[in-house]
Every structure is written in C-alpha cells, then in structure tokens.
Amino acid sequence: MRFERRERAPAVLVVLAPVVAVVVALILAGGLIALSGAPVFEAYGRIAIGAFGSKLAITETLTRATPLILTGLAAAVAFRAQVWNIGAEGQLYAGALAVAWFGAANPLGLPPGLLIPALMAAGAVAGMILLVVPVALRLRFGVDEVVTTLLGNFIVLLFVSLAVEGFLKDPMAFGWPQSVPIVPEASLPRIVDRSRLHLGLVIAAGLAVAVFFINRVTVFGMQSRAAGLNPAAARFAGVPISGTLIRVACLSGGLAGLAGAVEVLGVKGFVTTDLSPGFGYSGIIVAMLAALNPLGVVAAALFVAAMFVGADGMSRTMGVPSFIADVTVSLSLLTMLVALFFTTYRVRR
Amino acid sequence: MTAEPILLLDRITKRFGAITANEDVTVSLAQGEVLALLGENGAGKTTLMNILFGHYVPDSGSVRVAGRALRLGVPRDAIDAGVGMVHQHFTLAPNLTVLENVMTGTERLSAWRSGAAAARSRLAKLAERFGLVVDPDARVSDLSVGQQQRVEILKALYNNARILILDEPTAVLTRGEAERLFDTLRGMAGQGLSIIFISHKLHEVMAGADRVIVLRGGRVSAERRTADTNQAELAELMVGRRVQRPVRAARPVGEVLIEARAADVPMPGGVPLRAVDFTLRAAEVLGIIGVSGNGQTTLAHLLSGLARPKAGQVSILGRDAAGLDARAMVGLGVGRIPEDRNTEGAVGDFPLWQNAVLERLGDPRFARRGLVRRGAARAFCADVARRFDLRGGGPETQTRRLSGGNMQKLILGRNLADAPRVLIAAQPTRGLDEGAIAAVHAALLAAAEAGTGVVLISEDLDEVIALADRAQAIVGGRLSPPVEADRLDATRLGLMMAGSWEGLADAV
C-alpha cells in the first residue's frame, strides 16, 4: 500500500472530511461511554438535548461558541502563515485583564457606544502585544514561537492570579479571588431575552466573514500565505516578510485578546483565573477541524461548544463524567488530521 | 554478446491510473558493460529503476539478476542480489564520518561490538582498487559534492554491489568532476562491474557509455552502441523530433542599462563579490560563466534587489542599486529568473495565477487599494501560459504539479510578458530537458532581439557560447574582463573559469 498525492483535493472530500472525522471521533468516544456502563445512544441523545434541546440550551451553546470562534480564528490566521501561535489562552487572559482593568471605572463618563468599543480595542491590543513579542523574537533571533507562546500562557495566568489576589481584587467579593467588576454601562447588550447570549456572537461571526475576505481577496492575505508557505519565494517576490508576519501576529493576537474581552464584557463582568476552560487551546482544535477556513471555524466552534455544553447536561443525568467532551473533542482533532491526509493523498495498493 | 545478461528487466509494464509510466520495456545489461538510460524528464527512467529496486510492483514483466528472478516489490532481494543504487540526492548522514556512513545498515543492532577496524581495512581496499580516494575519518559535511558521490559509490560497493545504478550522477558535478567520474566508472567496468547510469545529457552519454537505451513516453524508442551513433541522432530519438537549439545572430547594441564599477557586495554565509566591473547594454546578452559557488548567487541577488553593494557604484536603469529592493526592481522593469525555481521562483502550494502576479502586487493592474484584482491576474496567467506554451494546467492548478520545464516557462513568461528592459537569468536551464532548454534559449534570444538587456548567469559552456554577445568569468567573487562573442570558444572559457585572465583585457 502506498500513498500518492492527489491532482487536487475534490470539493466533496474537503467538505466531508470534518464530518467523517467528527463521526469517527464520536464512535471512538462511544466505546468509552460504554466502558463507563452507560447506554451509548442514550448518552449521545442527552448530549444533543443538553446542547440544543431548549431555548436556554441553544443560547448557552451559542454563548460558549462565541470565544471559541474568536480563538479559532486566531489560530487559523496564524497557522495559515505558519506562525505557530499556541498562546491564544494567554492572549485571551491578557485581553480579559485589560478590559477588567480599564473597565472597572468610567472616569470620563463615556457612553456605552464609545466605552465598549474602546474596551474591546484595549483587550485586542493586549493580545496583540503578547503575540508580537514572540514573533519579533523569532524574526530577529530565531527563537521558536511554539515554545515562547506556550510558556507565555503560564506567565500570563500567574499574572492574572497576582492581579485578582492583589491590586485588582474585588473587596466586595467575600474574599474570592476575582477582579473588581466592570461598570454596568460597559456590559455587552443581550441579544436574546432571559439568556446569557450577548452581542459578542454577532461580532465574532462578523469577524469570521471579515477574515474570510481578508484571506481571499486582499494583498495582505496573499502575501501572508506566501510568507508562511515559502519565505524564500516571498522574499524574492518583494514581499516584506517581517512586516507581513508582524501584521499576522497583530491579527491573530488581537482576535484572541478580543475573545477574552468579549467574555468579560458579555458574560462574566470580572476576571477570575478560571475564566476560560481552555478556550485558547480548544481554538487550535476548532481551527484544525475547519481546515483553517474562517467560515468553517464558526461551524467547528459550534460543534465543540455543543459537546461541552451537552456533556455537562448528560453527566448530570447519567453519571458519565463530563470529561467525555474533552476526550471527544481531542479525538476529533486526531481523526481530522487523518481525514486531511486522505483529502490530499489517495491510497494505492 | 555473452550468453547470459547479468541483469534483465523483461517486458516491464507499469501504469499509474491513466498514465502509463513504462510499457513493454526490456533492458539487458552484460557484465562489464556501461549502459546509459537516456530520456527526457517523465520518460519513465526513474519508474523503471524503482521497479528494479522493488519500490514499485510492475503490472507485468519480470526482473532477473544473473538468471535468477527477483521477487517483485521486495527491495531486500535486489540488494542481496548485488544491485547498488547511487541516488541523485545523496542519502548520506552529514554529521557522520565517511566510514560510519559506509557501515550504516551493515551491522546488526544486537552486535556486541562494532567491527570498525575490519570495516576500515575493507573500505581502504575498495577505495584503492577502484581509485575512489577519500579520507575515511572525514565528516561528510566537510566533503565536496564530488567526494560525497564517491562515498555513495563506495557504500554501494561495500554492500557487495556487482551492478551499480547511478541516477543522474552528473547533475550536481562540475565538468571536471564529471569527467573524473566517468573515468572511474570505466575503470570499474574494466574490473567486471556492470553499470547503468541515467541521464538526459547527450555529451556524457556519448563519452561515458558503451551502449545507450533511449526511453520516450515510457517505451524503448531505440537502442544504439555509442560507437554507431551521434549526439544529433540521440537528441532526435529522445525528443521524437528534430531539436535545434537556437543560436544568436549579431545585433546592434543599444544604450547602457546596468553599469557596475568596483562594486563590493557582501553575502553572509556565501561568496561576496569583490571589485566587480561590468556593463550591460540594451539588446545584448552578457554571459557570466563560472563553476557554481563562485559568487553567482550574490551577483543574481544584487541584480534582483535582494543584496546591496557596500562599496563601489552599481547603477541599474539610471538608479543607484543601493536604494533598490525587489519590489522596486520589478517596478523599474527588471525581469528576474531566480537560480532555484523551486525555492525562490514560486510558492509550490499556490495556484499558478498567484505565482504569476505575486511579485507584481505593487502594480495597479493586479492590486488596487489593498485588494488583489483576481480577474486581471487570472487573465495575465492565462496569457502567459498561451504565449509561452505552458502545459500541464490552468490558472487554478497547484504550481508544484508542473514539471520543471513548465515551471520555468511560467517564471520566464511572467517576466517577459511585459517586455522588460533588463532580464536577469540565473542558471535558467539547470535541470531542464532538451526540449525545454531549446524553448528557454529561444525566449532569451527573442527578448534580446526585442531590445532587452539580458544577463545570463550560467555554468554551461555551450549555453554561453550559443547565446552570449560578451562573456565574463566569475571566479571567487571576482569578474574577469569581458570577451567578445567572436573570440569565445570552449577552451578560452575553460581557462577563464579556471582564473587565467591574462591577455583578455585587450578585448574590451
């Protein structure tokens, strides 16, 4: 048996690959559910009900998908230019912290229409800085950004811990380590009554469309992909490599920072060290499931969010640990990598 | 002919989907014979050798070594039967010594101790017997390409190879090294080894082989003894039609386009240029001849906007080169063909149309207000494909799927489509087959005819003699004085490449 590169990946396969990957991941995880003694189909039924079974379930899934869309986009734009940003988690916390810090008071008396965009920009800039530094280190000294961005996550999280235990600690929170809440007028408006679903979802979906067009039709989109795929050819063609990759870092880090900002402004209202259940890392899976396509990121984020929200509901009624969601999502990354292989190669005897 | 051939590939047929790579191919090799397998890229030479080595299973046919059939698809069988392969891209570990490389794979992992001492004396005997002198304790990364190839051959011999297959052995060698290689192969054949070498270069087939089998489109198109044939006949057999490389005609030259005076160009990790002087005028071809690694890359980078002069004066189309980057060069009308088309020339994963316009995104025809004008870019790509006979795909085809010749046509075409004032052609025919070389030469001459000044950087003497109006040799980062076309011949160019420049200055 040997593998041959396909002439070009058939469109059907490209669309089918993530679907097949997810189905295979569900089958494999089904084995684990069976091992824990629960009926597999009922468990999956419960997950579906938990994720989509009621208005509340749907809004919860969409709320959970919002930061995943943003971190997924962050990973997708970076990976497309071969900037290996593993630091979306840290950039998310940096964005959240910046928002909580500046949003704790409104000394200028800005109206929400100005205050919210200003705070979101602050969150995005915080995320940008956190990625521009590692990328600049790579360009200048050849430091591997996988290592710097990954380790940066822990530094940022410890800094957040320092802040919420110290200078940003909310004195009214009965000693809980959380930051001073943002002023009420900074909260993102709800888009569905009696739910937590907020305007962030619309912003995230809009950004997915924007990134799609940036990739597809802009000079920057073409140059960043060239710089990632073949830096020598890009340099020969006059593409400014450093400038292009720094701009990629700004876009990617900014999107991840925005994820944190939106989570604080739309859901929590303050920062804690468990603000994110791994949104930054799950974003990598989302991006891979979407094969780095920005519109696919929205669908992949919905799948991952539904697994997490649904598994919580399932575990309450059936006693299967909700870790099954982590396992399924992680398995789907592995099966997607295999599926991607088969979209570019065909099998020969 | 002796009764039994030492190697017989009998009526091999191999198909990949709709493509027939080999059809009813029969190759026999006698003991002590040097056989050349001649064919253009894609003629099926490599597939055939992969079948011999068990990497592919043929659809029909058999392989026999000394009368015994090999099991098909079992690489170990071929090696055990005494068949050794020297790949075009070496398979040596650069961080190990020669001896360690040769021994790799010959010892059992469970062996108590290494048999290095015995191996050393055996290697020394082989090296002496076949005249392949190389220091067994040298690190492979410190060896020249020619020496590395000797190590590859020694490695095959150490594995008791009686039949040696060499895939495009001269692709990476200088002319001198190539001649030495063929002397060595002759000596080895004289001692009873049997040799097949794969090539698409006619002169080395004539010089190195006793017999030649020509493959075309997967079939054996002819078999000749080299004593009974000539280069012209082989070229025709290989390509299937008469191929005539075009030759320059005298032209009146125009105004000065590029002028370099005592220019120093630094090159980190490469060969810097030192005090180089040259002039390029409109409608002429300036040949820069030299063995690769003598500063050609630096010169190409200087003229492509990737390297800047540190001292001296270089003016390109009236502008100081110190202030020109790649984008500015393209904007001025400098066409650039990079030395290595796969790394610098194109992004392999891009569709053709993106590679056609990537260096022209500063041109309002192809990008406005930060947006790529996809329609115009695709049309440009289609136009280039039509005018330069680019086959193998349309604007949406992934570039890495093109053959080397077609990729070079894309690069040539995107540069020549707008009639540039200057064209920098660095090793424009390296690795191309005969048909594609003729096409590239014709395009370069047509450009010069139309008034473009062409700088042709090449290590191929015949190419420079055929195309250049004037030539300078590049040696150790320095340029010789120019010599006019009517005084160019292989002997003089050879001397110039070796650094003998006396008596040349009067030609200026």
Residue A27 falls inside a structural domain: no
Of B327, B346, B397, the CB nearest to A233: B346
Write down the pLDDT at residue B505: 52
Which of B208, B239, B270 is where one domain is finished? B239
CA distance to partner chain A, nearest, from residue B44 (Å) = 17
Of B338, B362, B398, the CB nearest to A236: B338
Q: CA–CA separation, B299 vs A143, rounded Å? A: 30
Residue B203 falls inside a structural domain: yes
Q: Do B217 and B271 belong to one domain? A: no
Q: CA–CA separation, B475 vs B470, rounded Å? A: 17
Beta-carbon separation of A233 and B397 below 8 A: no
Q: Do B277 and B390 belong to one domain? A: no
CB of B362 within 8 Å of a chain A CB? The answer is: yes
Q: Which of B372, B396, B397, B411 to mutate to test the interface with A (most CBs of A within 10 A)?
A: B372
Q: CA–CA separation, B397 vs B386, rounded Å? A: 15
Residue of chain A with shortest Cα separation from B397: A8
> How many CB atoms are located within 10 Å of the residue A347 CB?
9
Q: Do B190 and B233 belong to one domain? A: yes
Of B326, B328, B374, the CB nearest to A236: B326
Residue A39 falls inside a structural domain: no
**Which residues numbered 179-218 in A keep a CB inside 8 Å of some CB on B?**
217-218
Q: Which of B153, B157, B160, B163 is nearest to B63 (CA)?
A: B163
CB of B352 within 8 Å of a chain A CB? The answer is: no
Edge-first strand listing for the sheet containing B68-69: B19-29, B7-16, B60-65, B68-69
Residue B2 falls inside a structural domain: no
Burial bucket for residue B244 (CB in 10 Å: 0-12, 13-18, 19+): exposed
Q: Do B165 and B262 belong to one domain? A: no
Residue A222 falls inside a structural domain: yes
- Structural domain of B393: 346-414
Q: Do B51 and B168 belong to one domain? A: yes
Q: Which residues of chain A have pLDDT under 50?
A: none
For chain A, what is the domain count?
A: 1
Residue A176 falls inside a structural domain: yes
Residue of chain B with shortest Cα separation from A232: B344
CA distance to partner chain A, nearest, from residue B381 (Å) = 16
Write down the pLDDT at residue B508: 40
Q: CA–CA separation, B399 vs B384, rounded Å? A: 14
Q: Tell me the mean pLDDT per 10 residues along chain B, length 508.
A: 77 82 90 89 81 86 88 84 84 87 77 77 87 86 82 88 87 76 89 89 86 89 88 82 72 87 89 92 92 88 92 91 90 92 90 93 90 94 90 85 86 91 92 83 92 92 89 91 85 79 57
> How many CB atoms are located within 10 Å of the residue B126 CB?
16
Name the strand (E) or helix (H) holding A317.
Answer: helix A294-318
Residue A229 falls inside a structural domain: yes
Which of B184, B219, B239 is where one domain is finished? B239
CA distance to partner chain B, nearest, from residue A140 (Å) = 15
CA distance to partner chain A, nearest, from residue B55 (Å) = 10
Q: Do B197 and B77 belong to one domain? A: yes
Beta-carbon separation of B346 and A219 below 8 A: no
Q: Do B114 and B190 belong to one domain? A: yes
Q: Do B367 and B269 belong to one domain? A: no
Q: Which of B327, B334, B361, B366 to mutate to test the interface with A (most CBs of A within 10 A)?
A: B361
Q: CA–CA separation, A259 vs A72, rounded Å? A: 10
Residues 6+ positions from B231 with CB-CB distance below 8 Å? B202, B203, B206
Residue A77 falls inside a structural domain: yes
Residue B316 falls inside a structural domain: yes
Amino acid at B433: D
CA distance to partner chain B, nearest, from residue A211 (Å) = 13
Q: Do B435 and B505 belong to one domain? A: yes
Of A7, A221, A236, the CB nearest to B344: A236
CA distance to partner chain A, nearest, from residue B323 (Å) = 14
Q: Which residues of B touch A231 (CB under 8 A)?
A: none
Q: Do B465 and B371 belong to one domain? A: no
Residue B339 falls inside a structural domain: no
Which of B239, B264, B283 is where one domain is finished? B239
Beta-carbon separation of B361 and A219 below 8 A: yes
Q: Do B209 and B90 belong to one domain? A: yes
CB of B364 within 8 Å of a chain A CB? The answer is: no
Residue B340 falls inside a structural domain: no
Q: Which of B40, B155, B51, B50 is nearest to B97 (CA)?
A: B155
Q: What is the DSSP string of A266-299?
A: IIISS--TTS-SSHHHHHHHHHHHTTT-HHHHHH
Angle at Cα A278 formed by Cα A274 and Cα A279, nearest 5°? 105
- Structural domain of A169: 69-279
Beta-carbon separation of A223 and B349 below 8 A: no
CA distance to partner chain B, nearest, from residue A220 (Å) = 7
Beta-carbon separation of A236 and B401 below 8 A: no
Q: Do B13 and B45 belong to one domain? A: yes
Write down the pLDDT at residue B507: 44
Report DSSP state, residue B505.
G
Q: Is B293 left (phi over 0), alpha (psi -120 to 50) or beta?
A: left
CB of B358 within 8 Å of a chain A CB? The answer is: yes
Q: What is the CATH number of the domain that holds B206?
A: 3.40.50.300
CB of A236 within 8 Å of a chain B CB? The answer is: yes
Write down the pLDDT at residue A129: 97
For chain B, what is the domain count?
A: 3
Strand pairing category for B422-426 and B334-337: parallel
Of B328, B330, B347, the CB nearest to A233: B347
Q: Which residues of A touch B21 (CB under 8 A)?
A: none
